[in-house]
Amino acid sequence: MTATLPGRAERTLMEGSEALVRASIAAGCKFFAGYPMTPFTEVLEHFARLLPEAGGTCINAESELEAVGMAWGALATGERAATGSTGQGLSLMQESFSELTLAELPMVVFNMARGQQDYFQATRGGGHGDYRHIVLAPQDVREGVELVQLAFFLADKWRNPVLVYGDYLLAHTQEALTIETLQFPELPPKSWAVDGTKSGSGLSGSVTPLGVSKHGQPSFGQEGKAQYIATKTPLMEREVRVETGFLDDAETVIVTFGSPAKFVKYAIKQLRADGHRIGYVRPITLWPFPYDTVRDAAAGARRVGSFELSAGQMVDDVRIGVSGQAPVTFIGGVSTDHSGFGMGRMLDVDVIRDRILALHTDRELPVIPGYEEFTYALAPHQQEAAR
């Protein structure tokens, strides 16, 4: 289905997964490898359908381990390449993520997460060594189209992986969109790429995390390479991106990210209309995290709330940013559908508004829908310890 508005380019109705793939192709992605896992599967399916039409290659790998290795190989030739999964699949890729970061390969990674319980994984990583990934968290499909293209640019700019943090809602929501190629500053040629053009010249290169090079060529060495990566990290921290609203007079500040942020922002607009002085901070980059913005927002507030669909992960970064200027309360919680893949009953504007208002008026937080009766109870010895 397409629609054309006066003065605008033609728009096409498509689900989020397809929009992210089309944005990747617009950014010049030529290779993708992945293994199906809900809610990432549709991303892989759309790459398989659309990338060959654009002159690229998509491979349904035997597992996540093979997928990240294949993408590594494509990246080493200088092509723009990506992989992805949901959090469980990305867990298998962690060793490769750390190695290819130290090898300075500009991979784009899609995490179509189940809820927001992958925040620690995305922002801290589970690999070895001193490494960081830039993490972009779109709030909807339209912003996802922009951030995916930004991801490919930032990956090449810093020769560093960039992770796009999505979820079930982003993957399956449909919007009418126009996928247009965004323009970014020109980047230098990839002189480091192993593409065969230097064969027989005596200047052939290697792409490795070890800091070694071909015989007779300058080499960082293992320690030098680690020092270089550490020097680059503070420069990448300048890529922080954040959205704020209603902070000028806010007594209560809510920090939120990703798809749930749209629900939180809508609830806050309703509460502002009722006269409640509440504002918000939405990190667009989860790393680098907007600590300075959170600190400034908390300076004039009486309380800060962290809303996320997890048991509380981003709240750690919120507390670091607030730096004791105001009490920080976690107002989110685990909430999925019965499959564990999709969004639960907590992702409802009325539920979110009640929790924000309870924090704002210093009342006890309402029970999370579905928490009235727990499926599991503490074991007897645990109940005794809890007394």
pLDDT tens, 56-109? 999 999 999 999 999 999 999 999 999 999 999 999 999 999 999 999 999 999
Mean confidence (pLDDT) of the chain: 91
Q: How much is the pLDDT for 204?
A: 67
CATH number of 243-360: 3.40.50.920
Range of lowest pLDDT (200-209, 221-230, 265-274, 296-305): 200-209
Flag whether pLDDT at 11 surpasses 70.
yes
Cα–Cα dist 281/301, whole Å: 12
Cα–Cα dist 253/383, whole Å: 35
Q: How much is the pLDDT for 5?
A: 39
**Are the C-beta atoms of 37 and 86 separated by less than 8 Å?**
yes
Average pLDDT for residues 210-215, to the nearest whole number?
A: 72
| Residue at token pair 């500009």 | 106
Flag whether pLDDT at 3 surpasses 50.
no
Second-level CATH architecture of 2-177: 3-Layer(aba) Sandwich (3.40)
Which distant-in-sequence residues (6+ apart) come within 8 Å of 95 by Cβ? 127, 128
Sequence ranges of the chain with CATH classification 3.40.50.970: 2-177
Cα–Cα dist 88/249, whole Å: 41
**Are the C-beta atoms of 178 and 142 separated by less than 8 Å?**
no
Give all strands (DSSP E) within 47-147, no chain letters: 57-60, 80-85, 108-113, 134-136
Flag whether pLDDT at 2 surpasses 50.
no
pTM, two decimals, is: 0.93
21-60 residue pLDDT tens: 999 999 999 999 999 999 999 999 999 999 999 999 999 9
Flag whether pLDDT at 207 surpasses 50.
yes
Flag whether pLDDT at 309 surpasses 60.
yes
Which secondary structure element, helix H or strand E, spans residue 234, and what is its range? helix 221-236
Average pLDDT for residues 145-169, to the nearest whole number?
A: 97
Q: How much is the pLDDT for 1?
A: 42
Flag whether pLDDT at 320 surpasses 70.
yes
Q: How much is the pLDDT for 216?
A: 65
Sequence ranges of the chain with CATH classification 3.40.50.920: 243-360
Using CA atoms of 176, 161, 193, 187 in order, give the dihedral in degrees to the nearest 10: 60
Q: How much is the pLDDT for 215?
A: 66
Residues in the chain: 387
Q: How much is the pLDDT for 202?
A: 67
